[in-house]
A and B are shown apart, each in its own frame.
Chain A
Amino acid sequence: MAITSIKNLKEFSTNNDRFEGAHLLCPGCAHSMIVRELMNCTDDNLVIASNTGCLEVSTAVYPYTSWDTSWIHIGFENAATAASCAEAMYKARKKKGTLPDADAPVKFVAFGGDGSTYDIGFQWLSGAMERGHDFTYICLDNENYANTGGQRSSATPVGAHTSTAQAGSHSYGKKQKKKDMVAIMAAHGAPYVAQLAPNKWKSMAKGFQKALETEGPCFINTVSACTTEWKFDPKDTIHITDLATDSLMFPVYEIIDGHELNILYRPKNIIKVEDYLGSQGRYRHLFKPQNKHIIERIQKDIDEKWALLQRREEARI
């Protein structure tokens, strides 16, 4: 099986892109950085399913497609359903001997936004994970329903301003904590789950390759900085993602077989979450005196989570 080399970026760049330009994602959108990397980390045929969201509506604007692989568009809830059922069909036809090119290696991948993954497609994702299909589900987590104007999702962190959890004189933005989707997926008994970030391209490519090579249902949450809804300059997508991983707002780690936790990126200098929050318009209101305690709460949550991840890594539980 041909898996492309990711020893260094020069070698990685010899891959032939299978995700084309003239899609309609915003300039600087991280969704396409993540998708390109997934498609470049393997030479295998890909069957990809995307449900409704920024990625899907921007890469299949009739009469165009930006995908050089098999790609299925399906309704909001069903990225996992489409990918897992394509996999089931493929297996069945292989068994019956009705596949035209049965020996060609093929991988099944689903892309969903956080709105679909954490909320609206949650049940269908859970079902596909439980059925145990051989596929990889990748959540493009931009922490809001970006495609419909930035509503809050259960992936939106405490304190973020969204169009349905607005900051104002009586509100500091979203009140509830972000759902821990990685833990929920690990609890399904998935053989490989991870949280990865596009600024750490190598650990992301390695994680993608591991997920594709692992038999069974794998889940990856990727941090996808959204210039439009997070409110930052499009040129800063990678810088903002650096702040996200270096403040540990988005720790980068994997969990194998539900218990073997490995931290994949340990910042040399852990930065204060203030520096991350201050880089984006959606958190601007938190710097008002009456909201400072929210920043303290976010920092405390981060510190506790990081301590927990490290304890779990050590204890292998």
Chain B
Amino acid sequence: MQTALRTSLPETELASRANFAPHARVVREERQDERRIQASGLPLSIRGLRKSFGDNEVLRGIDLHIPAGQFVAIVGKSGCGKSTLLRLIAGLEKIDAGSISFGQDIQPEDIRVMFQEPRLLPWARVLANVEVGLGRDRASTDAHARAEKALTEVGLADKREQWPSVLSGGQKQRVALGRALVSRPRVLAFDEPLGALDALTRISMQRLLERVWRDQGFTAILVTHDVSEAVALADRVLVIEEGRIAHDVTVNAARPRQRGSADLAGLEGSILSHLLSADDRT
């Protein structure tokens, strides 16, 4: 919680406070802390990205830059290639043409994906499922402690010894989130992670996503069908049409955001009309 508050402290305020001698040391520490958290997200540059399946040209040249730590939502009609883009970013499919770069060499643990299905191992207890997320660090001595910490972050510490089959849909998805978070990823890609949840669970999961994103500062890429979810969570909403990024909408509303506030509703309306007008044209 502490870190969340600190990261949200605007740069200008830090600068002005630096003028007061008694605060100087504190501020320097905060700055360092800030840099560490900034470093935890990775920027993402995509150039001329293309992908086809047979004759089906799904992505026809995606150009995109995502600054480190940004929360980006991707919306578009069903079948427009959102999942494909995400899978390319996560390295699950081969690129046909173009490039994706993270500005530096990355470890497999730096990028994590969360899917609509929780994909938990039914034969492993909740805690063991979270440990899977450690990747090559699974054998390390602090694996247990790290998994427990991640489980606490998603609020399921008391379920650590349960089988996944006894959990609710939302709880399973939270375990999957814990598993994705446990390796402290620097890019987290979500493919409709809340698509299968009921409305109330969705909202509480959205809050959880926003909270961990603010705590940890990873770069978040969220594919969603739900435009209101996109504007509620993201700094920026991308609309994909015909294999390209057709619209790039910045969401400026301050956080924490008021769901259903007038400016969010206005944005949502305009994005929806983009989507629908594309529908009319075809």
Asked if A and B bind, the verdict is no
